[in-house]
Amino acid sequence: MTTELSPSISEALTYFVAAKKSAKTAQQSHQELGRFVAWVGRERKVSELSPSEVAEYAQQIGLGGSESVHRLSPVKVFLAYWKDQGWIENGLASHLRVPRTRRTTPAAAKTTSRTNGRSTFTGSQLSQEGYDRLVAQLDDLKDQRALVLEDIKRAMADKDFRENAPLDAAKDQQGIVELRIRELEASINNAQILPEGASSKVARSSVGAKVTLKDTNSGKTLAYTLVDVREADVSEGKISTTSPVGQALLDRMVGEEVTINVPKGTLRYLVQRITGTA
């Protein structure tokens, strides 16, 4: 499946809802699907979503406890629909799993844990630009919330609630907006803003670092900036550290050779330069 033939995730949701509109369960799952689409990115192509991102979403849902696992069911059906439509070659639904055993974490996610003697931040690590973008999105959603409430008031003016499609649609939209607001507020409250300043060489790659690579197959030079999944933008060279390429480029040093297996084949890179946040 080529990227050109792959719809955006929001378009895929529109097609899916239209195909399943007669199913009662599909109507009841709109909020969960809206949450998923907002989390992974509405404008991304379905072919760009990686198994690791699907697994990370399952982890996030699993934080709500075992009672929240059933919320993954409509998302599994949605991902299976992608495969049925031929938009993706490898199924993603199987990666939507929550670990059977979990430890209760502190209420505040803005904490650190110890890994191999080093402190590891457990929240989101964002650039100032990425943080400001989330704040702007939150402001926009709060404006949308006010508009949706007005829509609900107008729809409720019709006293016949039995078949009030505008009211049902407004309430569905309200649920999606409220969920997204809570998610953004959590991300903002638990974010660590990466330091800014003049670019400087660093010993190892980490979130926020720019990694310059040489493709050992073609000799071409390219560069990626490693970012949190919420800042990922392939068109700008910003790749998520949860993607296969992003994961492979983490904790690397200049001179290292990196081999990455991707659906299209095997990538081989030589790390030429690593710089800190500009």
Flag residues of the chain having pLDDT under 70: 1-4, 21-28, 60, 62-69, 98-127, 158-164, 192, 194-202, 277-278
- Tell whether 73 and 156 lie within a shared domain: no
50: tokens are 């990686």
- 84 is a domain residue: yes
- Does residue 58 sit within a domain? yes
17 & 85 share domain? yes
CATH of the domain at 43: 1.10.150.130
My answer on whether 178 and 217 are in the same domain is no
- pTM over 0.75? The answer is no
Alpha-carbon distance of 228 to 127, in angstroms, equals 9
Structurally, the chain folds into a number of domains equal to: 3
Confirm whether 118 is domain-assigned: no
pLDDT tens digits, residue range 59-80?
Answer: 767 655 555 567 788 888 889 8
Domain boundary residue among 69, 104, 139? 104
Residue 75, helix vs strand vs coil: helix
Looking at residue 200, what is its pLDDT?
Answer: 53
169 is in which domain, residue-wise?
Answer: 128-193
In tens, the pLDDT along 138-194 reads 888 888 888 888 888 887 776 655 566 777 777 778 888 888 788 778 777 777 676
Within this chain, do residues 154 and 225 fall inside the same structural domain, yes or no? no
Report the distance separating Cα 66 and Cα 79, nearest Å. 21
14 and 97, same domain (yes or no):
yes
The percent of the chain in helix, strand and coil, each rounded to the nearest 5, is 50, 20, 35
Considering the domain architecture, whether residues 225 and 178 belong to the same structural domain is answered as: no
Token code pair at residue 73: 């069911």
